[in-house]
Structures are given as C-alpha cells and as structure tokens.
Amino acid sequence: MVLLASATLAGCSSGSSTGSASATSGLQPGIYADGAASQAHYVVVLHDAGQGTVVGAISYLAHGSATTVSTFTGWTQSKVAILTTASGSTLTVPFSANALDLGSCTSYLPLATGKSACIFHLHHAAPEG
C-alpha cells in the first residue's frame, strides 16, 4: 500500500547528491509509515522544499486507496520539525535519522491506536536529486 504514495516522491529532492538531508538538518525526505504495508496505516510523505523547509502530507492507506488527512509546511531545527498543517495547527515533531515521533497523534489521527502508532519509520527514501 505504501507504493501508492511512492509516486509522489518523484518531485522530492534529497537535499544533496549523497542522499543526506543537509538542507533539512538531518531529516530524510521520503515516505514514513506507522504500520506494516499489509495492514491499514498512516503514512507521512515528506519533501525537502529547499532552504531548510519541508512540505508534505499525512495520509491513511487502506484497502488499496489513500486518503489525505492533512498537508503541512514547516522547517527543522535541532532534530525537531515544526510543521503547520493546512488547518493552522502546529505540530512539534522530534526526529531521528529514520523516524518521526508525532507525539500524541491520537488526538488528530482518529484511527491511530496508541503511542506506538505515532512513531513513523522511514519506509522509502526520496530519490537523490
């Protein structure tokens, strides 16, 4: 199911020719998932928009289709992404090299079943640009 979202990565830039995300302070552009591809789950598609900014979307994948829950823009600083959603909410998202922690995402992702569903792991990195 994550493959549905992989087509959206075509326009992503990795931030450098080595695939690292230097423009976004270590945050790797790509698809992050909170569950197995064989089960319904949320994904975060993250693009490097240049100059330290990111854009993306949170979608729910189930039964072969994707539903966008929210889009966002933001920036990174000191291993934290500050994301502003299309509805105007601000999300503070700590990250590591291959994971995003959406904290108490159960408050805005209604089908997330607990804290473990709020940890998103890099499933597919953006192609080098």
Q: Residue 124: its pLDDT value, please?
A: 84
Q: Residue 41: its pLDDT value, please?
A: 93
The whole-angstrom separation of Cα 114 and Cα 118 is: 7
Q: Residue 15: its pLDDT value, please?
A: 41
Q: Residue 19: its pLDDT value, please?
A: 38
Q: Would you write out the chain's pLDDT as a tens digit for each of its 129 residues?
A: 333 343 344 444 444 333 333 445 788 999 999 988 788 899 999 999 988 899 999 999 998 899 999 999 999 988 999 999 999 999 999 999 899 999 999 999 999 988 899 999 998 877 655
Cα→Cα distances 123→83, 88, 120, Å: 20, 27, 9
CA 74 to chain centre: 12
Judge: domain 3-13+24-125, CATH 2.60.40. Answer: no
